[in-house]
Amino acid sequence: MSAFTSTKYSSILLFLILFACASQVIAQVYQITDLGTLPSQTSSSAVGINQLGQIAGSSGNHAFLYSNGTMTDLGFLPGSNQASASAINNSGQIVGTYGLTTLQGRTLGFLWDSGVISDPFNSAAYINGQFETQGFEPVAINDNGQVAVNLASNGNSTALLWQVSGNQITTLSSGGSTAYAINNVPQVSLVDRPSYAFGAIWSLSGTTVLPTLYPPLAGYGPTPYGINQNGQAVGESYANSQAQIHAFLWSNGTISDLGTLGGANSTARAINSTGQQIVGDSDQNPNTATTQNRRAFLYANANMLDLNSQVANILGWELQSAVGINDSGQIVGNGTYLGNAHAFLLTPIIQGTVSPIQGGNAGNVTLNVFYPGTMPTSVDLACAGGTTIVGGVPVPISSNFVQVTFNLTGVTPGACSVVLNEPGGSILTTPNAFTVVQGGAPDIRISVAGFPQLRAGLPETYYIVAENVGNVDSGSVRIWVSFPSFLQWQPAGVQPSSSGAMNGNTFVAFDILPKASSNNPIPFLLTAPVSSNLVHKPFQIQAWKLGQ
């Protein structure tokens, strides 16, 4: 089965995220941001985040810098047709790999600094046969401009420390090694292979071999993927005789098993400077070990938390891996949104925050409100000029979140404080958390998202996205979706209000009430019958709206 026509959809979700620890009611609240893609690309993936919240990653065959809501293409070197980012430091310098059209299948190294992409390593000299090298891969860069590099040659890898200024090169191991991360000391986390593979931390004073969670199996010890400024390392190690692999923390000479989310395997990928928060990914289902089973986690306070279960209104998202965390608590990772591979950013926000953060004074505006303790009996907006807007009855939407509708018609524009009235008379006020703006109208946009192919006999989830980019609530909207009648369909949560068939197509209608500055993904399942007559048959899904 072949592709359908759809409208590309990407946005920043203004939803709140809740982290709960066993000893606390609330640990943190986050905003999730879809990093989207570069123009003409369909996917994105992140590799790291610095202390400024800048993110490095790749979109299609381009490397990018994401900063302050903008994704910037790093460009290509002359003669190149590909670039892939590996790491970013606190100065915003990015290292990665690129390819040349004249050296297909071989990788070279680039440095991006202040808008300029270059190859200060002269890596083409290695690739062109001088050292019989097939790959030159910068994998990490610290704040001093020191780069951890892997050279691939005849099936072996050699880890190097490269000081770009002065072009100083230090071989970290001559027996076969692979570097993964670097700090400012510098210390490099790597795997060394003199006779068998073992994890180690290299420094100028020597190499420290890491202990294992379980005696090495088949000659493989732990793999340290991340290291912080204090020399604490995280990664994965065999954990038992069943060859299960678990995330670990190595600190002060001791290795600790971080466990899993219930599945067999887990991997830690990054750790913050304090060593109190670790991110990575873990199997969720003990019976499978597929990408679809992998879940992003945060490990804190001796608890491993599935980020997917901590997000309010996560419909359409699957957070599969967390790859970086900074000391502000921002987490960057990779997953799928509406069936497309996208990078995401989780940013902590203060308690008592609402979404959306502004609404128009031309109608009703519905807010998602976070409450830190007991569910409030009512929620008010204390606005400019001493005006108090009493909200409707709070409707629970998830743990510690309620939805409240306010009539803002004619309210004077300006900042409003959010007032939570709790049982027993307690009041929690969040100053200037919401802003009333002049005018406003709903603006409903419809798009279709999902995998561009169907396999016969296997159901696939598709989404109709009704996005209200306006700043007031919409009236009832009827969304119609059509597709060829040879496809079998069934709802996946939202029940249709009407359906029928005509001229070889099935028509299904859904009635919704889009809130201000929100999106409403409607999932449904399509299945292609097993028939040789339908192989490679193109089909189209269309969606449109009636009413507003």
pLDDT of residue 449: 81
Helix, strand, coil distribution of the chain in percent, nearest 5: 5, 55, 40
Sign of the CA dihedral running 330, 334, 335, 340: positive
DSSP 3-state assignment of 423? helix
Q: Give the helix/strand (H/E) hosting 15.
A: strand 12-19
pLDDT class of 166 with cuts at 50, 70, 90: confident
Judge whether 125 and 136 are in contact, CB under 8 Å.
Answer: no
Whole-angstrom Cα distance, residue 82 to residue 99? 5
CA-nearest of 342, 203, 241, 335 to 279 is: 335
pLDDT digit string, tens, across residues 440-454: 999 998 988 887 778
Whole-angstrom Cα distance, residue 431 to residue 174? 60
pLDDT of residue 401: 83
Q: Give the helix/strand (H/E) hosting 123.
A: helix 123-125
Judge whether 131 and 153 are in contact, CB under 8 Å.
Answer: yes
Per the structure block, which two tokens stand in for 273? 């400077």
**Is the confidence at residue 400, as pLDDT, over 90?**
no
pLDDT digit string, tens, across residues 238-281: 999 999 999 999 999 999 999 999 999 999 999 999 999 999 99
Domains of the chain: 56-209 (2.130.10.150), 354-437 (2.60.40.1930), 444-546 (2.60.40.1510)
Report, as an integer, the average pLDDT of 110-123.
94
> How much is the pTM?
0.76
pLDDT class of 138 with cuts at 50, 70, 90: very high
pLDDT of residue 355: 83
pLDDT class of 159 with cuts at 50, 70, 90: very high
Per the structure block, which two tokens stand in for 108? 């070279």
Lowest mean pLDDT: which of 97-111, 168-182, 229-243? 97-111
DSSP 3-state assignment of 397? strand
Report, as an integer, the average pLDDT of 399-414.
92
**Is the confidence at residue 151, as pLDDT, over 80?**
yes
CA-nearest of 124, 118, 127 to 145 is: 118
484's CB contacts (< 8 A; 6+ apart) are: 504, 505, 506, 539, 540
Mean pLDDT score across all residues of the chain:
87
**Is the confidence at residue 9, as pLDDT, over 50?**
no
DSSP 3-state assignment of 542? strand
Better-scored residue on pLDDT, 5 or 202: 202
DSSP one-letter string for 181-227: EE-SS-EEEEEE-SSSBEEEEEETTEEEEPP-SSPPBTTB--EEEEE
Report, as an integer, the average pLDDT of 491-498.
91
pLDDT of residue 291: 58
